[in-house]
Amino acid sequence: MALISGFGGVLVFSGTTTVKCRSFTMSTERESLEVTLIGDWRKKYAPGRVRISGTVTLFRQDTTVDATLRAHLFPTNLINSVNAVLTLKFTDQGGVVYNNTMDGGSVDYNVQITSATFSDDGSGAGTWELSWEAQ
Amino acid sequence: MALSNCMKALYTLIASGTYPVSVGLRRAGDSTPMIVYEVSQVDIDCLMIGGDAGHYTISVTADCVADTSLLAWTVASDLVDVFSGVYVDNAEDIKLVLSGVNATARTETPDDGQSDAERVVSVTLTILGKEI
C-alpha cells in the first residue's frame, strides 16, 4: 500500500491544466446539528451541511489564467460581481480526484475567491495567494 | 534549458560593461582591471506538480580587481550600473533584474613572487531571473 505524497498534485483552474501552481490546500468543515429530544438522556447530534474551502498559491502569469482571475477579482459591473465563479478540480499524486460529487455528478467545484494577495517587493517570483470557497 | 539560458544571459549582461570579465578564475598574467565572477547559488522556484517554474534567484560574487582602490570601486560601480532596470535578453528568452547588492574591499597579493598587491572589491549581487 503506497502512501500518497503531499506534492505533485494537479490543479485544474477554470479549465486550465497548465496553470503554474505552487501549492494547494483544501479543507472541509461540517456543521454538527443538535437534535436532542426532550426524552433523550444525552445530547444527540446529526451531521449538517458541508463547507469546502481552501487556499491556492499561483505564480502570476501573463496568460489567460491571470486574466480569468483578474476578471473574477475586479468585475466591471454588478452582474459580473454577483455571478463571479471560477472552477477548481484537484487530483492528488495518488490519482484521487477532488471535485463536486453531489447530485450524482462529477464536475469541477464552482468556487469564489474570498481573498487574494500579491505583492511586488522585489524579492522573488510574483505569486497570487488566494483563498477560495466552494459555492 | 531555461537555467542555462539564464546563465548565458547573465554572462552577456555582465560582459556588456567596460571591463574584461572572466568566470570563476583569473589566469596568471591576465591584465587588470577585470571582473572575476562566480555564481555562488541559484534558487529555483518549482511548481506543485514538480519541475522548474522558470524563475530564479541567483547569487553572484564578483571580484573587481584593479591596481588601485579607486579603480577597483570604479569597476564595481560599472558592474552594478549594467544592471540598470530590467534586462531583456530576447536571444535567450530571459529577463534579469538586480534586487540586492553588497560589497566589501580587500587587498590581495598574487602568490607568484613577482606581482604587486592588488585591490579587490568583492560585490555580491542578488539577481532575479525569469523566462520570458
pLDDT digits (tens, 9 = 90+) for B25-37: 887 777 889 999 9
pLDDT at B5: 92
Domain at B2-131, CATH class:
alpha beta
Helix (H, G, I), strand (E, B), or coil: what is residue B59?
Answer: strand
pLDDT at A38: 95
d(CA A96, CA A106): 13
Residues in B closer than 8 angstroms to A20, CB to CB, are 47, 53
Of A23-32, A38-47, A89-98, B113-122, which gets the smallest average pLDDT? B113-122
Position A4 confidence tier, pLDDT thresholds 50, 70, 90: confident
A10:B49 CB<8 A: yes
Which of A13, A20, A25, A119 to mutate: most B Cβ within 10 Å? A20
* Proportion of chain A above pLDDT 70, given as a percent: 100
The end-to-end CA distance of chain A, in Å, is 35
Which of A59, A63, A119, A120 to mutate: most B Cβ within 10 Å? A59
A21:B55 CB<8 A: no
Residue B11 has pLDDT above 90, yes or no: yes
**What is B74-109 written as a DSSP string?**
HHHHHHHHTT-S-EEETTTTEEEEEEEEEEEEEEE-
* Out of A8, A124, A125, closest to residue B49 by CB: A8
- Are B56 and B6 in contact, with CB atoms under 8 Å apart? yes
C-alpha cell at A75: 468585475
Q: Does B50 touch chain A (CB under 8 A)?
A: yes
pLDDT average, residue stretch B34-58: 92
Helix (H, G, I), strand (E, B), or coil: what is residue A82?
Answer: helix
Q: Does B53 touch chain A (CB under 8 A)?
A: yes
Residue A1 has pLDDT above 90, yes or no: no
Residue A120 has pLDDT above 90, yes or no: no
B53:A11 CB<8 A: no
d(CA A133, CA A28): 10
Cβ contacts from A onto B, under 8 A: 39
Nearest CA in chain B to A9: B49
User: What ipTM goes with this model?
Assistant: 0.77
A52-66 CB burial, b ≥16 within 10 A, e <16:
bbbebbbbebeeebb
Q: Which tens digit of pLDDT belongs to each residue from A48-107?
A: 999 999 999 999 987 788 888 888 999 888 887 888 889 999 999 888 999 988 877 788
Q: Does B25 touch chain A (CB under 8 A)?
A: no
Nearest to B60 by CA among B14, B17, B117, B95: B14
pLDDT at B32: 85
pLDDT at B113: 67
Position A14 confidence tier, pLDDT thresholds 50, 70, 90: confident
Nearest CA in chain B to A23: B48
pLDDT at A129: 95
d(CA B25, CA B82): 21
pTM: 0.80
pLDDT average, residue stretch B23-50: 88
Residue B116 has pLDDT above 80, yes or no: no
